Amino acid sequence: MNGACIFCDIAARAVEAGLVYEDADSIAFLDTHPLFPGHVLLCPREHYVTLLELPTRLTGPMFATTQLLARAVENALDAEGTFIAINNRVSQTVPHLHIHIVPRRRRDGLKGFFWPRQHYTDDAAREAVRDAIEREVQKLKT
Ligand code: AMP
Ligand code: ZN
């Protein structure tokens, strides 16, 4: 995509960004509104909206690069760990796939951030959901 996508523009070097890494498949740069300093976004160079569109030839390299950047962020920011996240459509504000790599420390204030947990009403409800997902996996694999 050209012109309409800010992350395509960053990948094409048409827009400035705080680049931390690039290779033939991907580019990584500082988030302009970080959860914490060192919050990095890793994108495929090609325009895919969500993880579901990413071709499998890129899933391995992107995951390996996520590991590399998570280590680099931990070391550079002296962090205790990282939070790795992808918003797919819901809560996704930039429609070009990006992996958030966020340095974390215990008691850093992100505790409870995001999702209030729920319970399955009973074992049957849990089993119905488990079964539905397992069936879909089987369908998609055949
Ligand atoms: P999401 O809400 O998961 O789609 O995340 C989009 C992220 O992109 C947000 O954290 C923004 O702060 C970040 N962002 C938006 N525009 C830019 C930009 N030009 N350079 C770097 N980060 C950006
Ligand atoms: Zn794009």
So what's the pLDDT on residue 114? 63
Is the CB of 87 within 6 Å of ligand 1? yes
Q: Distance between terminal CA atoms of the chain?
A: 32
- Distance CA(8)–CA(130), nearest Å, equals 38
- Distance CA(52)–CA(15), nearest Å, equals 26
Task: Kindly list the domain boundaries of the chain, sorted by start residue.
Answer: 6-115
| CATH 3.30.428.10 fits domain 6-115 | yes
So what's the pLDDT on residue 1? 61
So what's the pLDDT on residue 128? 93
Using most ligand atoms within 8 A of CB, pick from 31, 91, 101, 114 the residue to mutate for ligand 1: 31
Q: Burial code of 65-87, b = ≥16 C-beta within 10 A, e = fewer?
A: bbeebbebbbeebebeebbbeee
In the DSSP assignment, the letter for residue 52 is: G
So what's the pLDDT on residue 110? 86
Sign of the Cα pseudo-torsion (24, 26, 28, 32, in order): positive
What residues act catalytically?
98
| Tokens (6 digits) for 127 | 């089993």
- Give the residue from 111, 86, 116 showing the smallest Cα distance to 98: 86
Task: For residue 52, give Cα distances in angstroms to 32, 60, 89.
Answer: 25, 14, 11
Using most ligand atoms within 8 A of CB, pick from 8, 15, 93, 99 the residue to mutate for ligand 1: 93
Consecutive sets of 10 residues in the chain, 142 residues long: mean pLDDT of each?
85 96 96 94 98 98 96 95 96 97 93 75 94 92 89
Q: Which residues surround ligand 2, an ion (CB under 5 A)?
A: 1, 5, 7-8, 47, 96
| Tokens (6 digits) for 91 | 């809560």
Q: Where are the beta strands (DSSP E) in the chain?
A: 19-22, 26-30, 40-44, 81-85, 99-104
| Tokens (6 digits) for 10 | 């960053």
So what's the pLDDT on residue 25? 97
So what's the pLDDT on residue 111? 72
| pTM of this structure | 0.91
